[in-house]
Structure formats: C-alpha cells, structure tokens
Structure 1
Amino acid sequence: MSLLGKAAVAMWWSVRAEQRGEFGDWHSHEHFPERMSIPGFRRGSRWTSTTDAEGFFVLYELEQYDVLTSKGYLDRLNAPTPWSTKMMPHHLGMIRSQCRVAASFGGGVATSLATIRLSPGTGQQAELQAQLSETLDALAQKPGLTGAHLLLTDTPRTSSPTTEQQIRGKDGAADWIVLLSGYDADAVEQVIADRLSPLALGALGAQHNPTIGHYRLAFTMTPQDVAVI
C-alpha cells in the first residue's frame, strides 16, 4: 500500500455495536464519496479492528500538505450534512492526526494493517527517523507484506476546531505513526512482535510506550470511484 501523496489524515475511534450498521452505511455511501470529491484527496481507507470489537482506523491520503488548509476541505468540515451531524457524536475517543508523509515504501492495497502510535525519545528525532526509514524500506518487500510507512503529525498552525470537531468534542492526536500492511495477517503480526516491537523501537530511539493496533480492510475509495454528488 504505497501512500498516494505527501500528507495524510490518520484517525482512530470507536463505534458502539448498536451504531455500527448505520455507521457503515453512512461512511461508505455518503462520507467517503464526500471526502473523495475534495480536490487533493487521493484515497480513503477504513479498517476494522481485529482486537477491539468497537475500534476503527481511517486513513485519508492527500496529494500535498496544504490540502489540510484548503478551502475545499475546510468548507466540508464546517458544513456537515444532516447525516454527518447525526453520526459525529458516535465517534468515541477520536484520535485525529494531520500528518506529513516522512517515508513510504511498497505498493497496492492490502487486507491487513498494523498501526503504531509512538514518540521519539528526547533528542532522538533525527536518529529514530533515519533508523525507522531504513527498517521500513526493508520490511515492505518481505513475504506477506506490501507496505511500510512513517507519518509525522504536523497540525497546521492555523488549525482551529471545526464544526465537525465541535460536535464530536475534543479530539486527541498521535505523534509519530508507523503503518505496516500485508496480505498475510500472521506476517504483519510477526513483524510487530519482532522488528517493530516496543523493545525494538526503544532500541531505535523511541519512547517505550507505543500504542499498537491490528486491523483488517473494510472499504477503500479513490476519487475515480465517485459519481457526481
């Protein structure tokens, strides 16, 4: 899964069981087409947690970083549809990170994904980024794997709470994000337990408290999939 652009929005949240059916309908048939109609949005993907019955991960891949502050995007965020207004309060524990793509290796769209939210140790930013980039480059070509990426959260300085955020309540944010995708879930999990384990990441210069999630692909869309709306 090679990332399509130089920026991304990475999001984690939970949806309770009684809302999941409507959430899937809304997110697939209204929200994704809406987002993919915004200039600069290249691909969206939704992933269902394999370890948390309520968990989701969503990734939007953006052509350039300035898409995050574009009129097209902000207009959507500040004018949610009635259905979006109804669904936003059901995004529980939202973590939303606006990111620059620091490294991206691999190609295609896979079925399994691991996410790692981490932070560099004090004074370790440059060394950790270099070490992670080298490691991810090597991993992307391993059997069972298809992509390995590093995102660095960089919230736009002009960012202020949008209407959607105000409906949800205060969003959290990750710091650094590693994404590892593959067509073999066992291969992905093995790497997370070994080359990208908390101990291994600590040896590269990360703090020893990463947050790891495991997901399977639920839906993906690009602008080419969107009819006129």
Structure 2
Amino acid sequence: MLAGEGAVAIWNDIAEAGRAQFYAWHLQEHMPERVGIPGFVRGRRYRATDKATQPEFFTLYETSSFQVIQGSDYLSRLNEPTEWTRATTAHFQTTTRSLTRVVASHGVGSGGALMTIRFDIADDAVRLVVPRLTSALEAVAQMPRISGAHLLGSDADVSGQSTAESKNRTDLQAPARWVLLLEGCDVQAFDAALELLKKTHELSEASVGCYLHEYTRLKTAWQAG
C-alpha cells in the first residue's frame, strides 16, 4: 500500500556533467526539503535497470492527500527554489512530473524493484477502464514476489502549473495522465503481471520502465530555504 492518497511522480535523466551534483543535492537538500513539507510522508528514488528504461531516474513522493500537492506549502517551495536547486535542475533532461491522486493501491509493502507504466485513457472511457484496471491490480498484487500494485491518475492542470522552479526549463515533458506502479522483490516478478495488464487495450502502447531502489527518505521536519 502507498503511504497516502496523493503522489508526485517524477521521471528524469541527468547530464553526465551534473551527475555527482544531482546525487549530493537529492540526498542532502532536495528530498529532505520535499519530505519536510506538511503532508509529505515519504520520498523514494529509483534508477533504471537497463538502457531500455528511459528516463534513468524515477522519484516518488507520497502525500497524505491530493490536496497537499495543491496546497500553499508545496507551491511556496516550487516558487522559491534554492540556488542549489537552480544549479542542479539546469542539468536535468527529459523530465516528466505528474501530480496524482491514488486511485487504487494494493499489496503488502514496498519492494526493491519497481515498474512504471505510463499511459492514457480517453476521457469518455475512464468510467469503464478504471474499474477493470483496479480489478486487475488486485489480482496482480497476489502474484508471486509482487509486493504492491498501484494506479495513479494525474491532474493535468495542476501538473502543468508554471512556477519559478519550472520557468525557462527546456527539459520538461508533458505530464503522464495515468500511471501504474508495480513493486516487487525483483524485476522478473513483473513479467506475468505485465502480460495480464496489457490485455487492457489502453496499455498496449504504454511507456514501461524497470527500476531498482536507491534511496528512501521518511518524514522530516527540516526544510531548506
């Protein structure tokens, strides 16, 4: 199960010249800052398992509610980026950021391996497709070595909101509208799960990535800035 009813999902590459800076900033400032925001409860970072998975990094912030990521505390951080944030994000490439509601979350806990599935659902099909996916995720969560199966739906207007942190950045891509997250003990555990899920037409052209866990930051009272 995810730790709340909201989530910020971020995919990004990093230029080689900024890689060491990215790791230092993410560990020492950025994740503590984000998880220090009221209502943010956990941050996790993952790195791609192979060259076929792009972008290389995936970061997930879990929040107590979707309202938290619409709120003034989070927005104030986005509008007051630190100098270290400005310097580091200048090295970001192919960044996708989705502010999401947790539509469904099943399982017994987090896993060391993660699969992200980005896809779209036509607006007039949401009422039919989402219940089917939710039912499929319940079955996936019972599969061997699968520890979690989650469905996230993004808010395009909120995700695409312009802030001081995003101003003039050329790396930002369109937000993913729908996201499936599968957690497991190893990436091989996802094979049968993906075969089941891809029976849903909307997932036939989905963007799929496999990641391994690098770092988790639990709730902290510290904030930068």
| Cα distance in 2, alignment partners of residues 220 and 66 from structure 1 | 23
Amino acid at match of 2:44: S
Q: Which residue does the alignment assign to 1:29?
A: 28
Gaps of 5+ in 1: none
1:174–1:158 Cα change, 3 Å: closer
Which runs of structure 1 show a deviation greater than 4 angstroms over 4 or more consecutive aligned residues? 156-159, 226-229
Is 1:81 aligned with 2:82? yes
- Determine if contact 1:148/1:181 at 8 Å carries over to the other structure: yes
Shift of 1:228: 7.3
Q: Which residue does the alignment assign to 1:210?
A: 206
The size of the alignment, in residue pairs, is 221
1:84–1:186 Cα change, 3 Å: same
Deviations 1:157-201 (A, max 9, x none): 596311111153344200111000101221123422x1123xx12
TM-score, normalised to structure 2, is 0.90
Is 1:115 aligned with 2:111? no
Is 1:12 aligned with 2:11? yes
Instruction: Please say which of residues 57-66 and 157-166 is displaced more in the overlay.
Output: 157-166
1:157–1:180 Cα change, 3 Å: closer
Q: Helix, strand or coil: the match of 1:104? A: strand
- Determine if contact 1:14/1:91 at 8 Å carries over to the other structure: yes
Matches within 5 A, 1:7-156: 7-52=6-51, 55-121=56-122, 123-156=124-157
| Cα distance in 1, alignment partners of residues 16 and 192 from structure 2 | 29
Shift of 1:122: 6.3
| Cα distance in 1, alignment partners of residues 159 and 46 from structure 2 | 29
| Cα distance in 1, alignment partners of residues 150 and 23 from structure 2 | 26
Q: Which residue does the alignment assign to 2:188?
A: 186
1:99–1:173 Cα change, 3 Å: same
| Cα distance in 2, alignment partners of residues 16 and 91 from structure 1 | 6
Shift of 1:143: 1.4
Deviations 1:54-92 (A, max 9, x none): 611111111111112222111111111111110112221
1:23–1:189 Cα change, 3 Å: farther
The alignment-based identity, stated in percent, is 34
| Cα distance in 2, alignment partners of residues 54 and 123 from structure 1 | 30
Q: Helix, strand or coil: the match of 2:103? A: strand
Q: Helix, strand or coil: the match of 1:124? A: helix
Alignment RMSD (CA, Å): 2.1
Amino acid at match of 1:61: E
Instruction: Please say which of residues 102-111 and 36-45 is displaced more in the overlay.
Output: 102-111
